[in-house]
Amino acid sequence: MKQIVIIGGGFAGINVAQQLARNPAYSIIIVDRNNYNFFPPLLYQVATSFLEPSNISYPFRKLIRPFKNVSYRMGEFQELITAENKVVLSTGTLQYDYIIFATGAETNYFGMENLKNNALPMKTVNDALLLRNHFLQVMEAATVTTDVAERTKLLTFMVAGGGPTGVEVSGMLAEMRRTILPLDYPEVSGKNYEAHIYLVDGGTSLLKPMSEKSQKDTYNELTRMGVEVLLNHRVKDYADDVVTFTNGKSIATKTLVWAAGVSASVLPGIPTACYGAGRRLIANEFHQVKDLTNVYAIGDTSIASGDPAFPDGHPQVAQVAIQQGINVGKNFKALAAGKPLQPFRYHDKGTLAIIGRNKAVADFPRPKLHLNGFIAWWIWIFVHLMSLINYRNRLRTFYNWAGAYLTKDQSLRMIIRPKKKTN
């Protein structure tokens, strides 16, 4: 059996493993720093207390239990030694016949250290839990302070980045302000002081990859919900509870959610010539990394060439990662059977973004169609439920969503702060 090591158990990596599960030609090892797979598009609902982490996560070891040729190793990638077909992890070393990098992307602060130290990212379950605690803690602090300026700062929430994550977070905060704040925090509801939800972006529109109709619908709906959308506002700094923009303006806030950019990670042992834009590994149409014969890259960490419809590479979205994982898995099956490999061609199934209760936008390329409002919202609900990794997660998430929809409320707003034991 040839040994395949998969670095990263997200959308891309897990789909490779599922394709090759029970295949007698290969032994698969999934390597990940976490012992669970999670669903990034719903992290914002964990951050805003509408879902528990277990709703969108599932342990790798339980997931792979039925497959004798698939195993899991907890660890972080440290170095690739291509001359020896060896990968060094924080928990030891592994030999490989083939290695697949599916490490995803990390938050990009564009070199701004104050942002890195003070802003709140949302790329991992840990980030979402930290953000949930932060949201609840600033609300509790706002109920007891007598300083109006301080209370305004506590109740001013800023989200940087006008992509789907930024739109979804700001929309959810607006819904919470309308339905939950008067019930849970009567001390700060309806008072005569300023409180704001800002969504800021350095460009001229929200949801740049989507159609103009979706961009306009989203802007209008968020504005109607009370979100203050600031376009052409690029964040320059965030220090001493003040966000400063390149145009000279500034806003005081205790909360800056950073959803304004991602980049891939530099992987020690891989030559500099293998990297393209955004530090993504340059791969061919069969997902092989440039100049490296048995090294593959898929998902957000790669920029694949050879697809005529996407000459500059594919968007860093879940569907690309899923389809690339499936394709590379099928190609390994073909390789074992002596059949020709299939080049990757991305099939764009459309783009969705939720704004709030009964509000979403959807664009479909074939046929070219734009939807908004309730029907787009239902499509978003269905697609995200079916994209969860198993029926358990789907049922628990649906139960939570149904309860929140019927009651306009949720009972998951708990501040949980684990502490390390000290001797």
| Residue 231 Cα distances to 88, 219, 345, 362, angstroms | 44, 10, 34, 22
DSSP state of 132: H
Q: How many CB atoms lie within 10 A of CB 183?
A: 10
- 142: enclosing H helix or E strand: helix 125-144
**Which residues have CB under 8 Å from 152's CB, separation 6+?**
193, 194, 195, 252
Dihedral through CA 181, CA 183, CA 185, CA 188, nearest 10?
70
Peptide bond into 367 cis (omega under 30): yes
d(CA 129, CA 134): 9
d(CA 107, CA 86): 28
Q: Which residue among the candidates 106, 140, 150, 168 is catalytic per the annotation?
A: 168
Contact predicate 12/299, CB 8 Å: yes
168 is known as an active-site residue: yes
d(CA 214, CA 360): 9
Which 3 state secondary structure label does DSSP give 306?
coil
Give which of 50, 51, 20, 22 is closest to 38, Cα–Cα.
51
Residues taking part in catalysis? 168
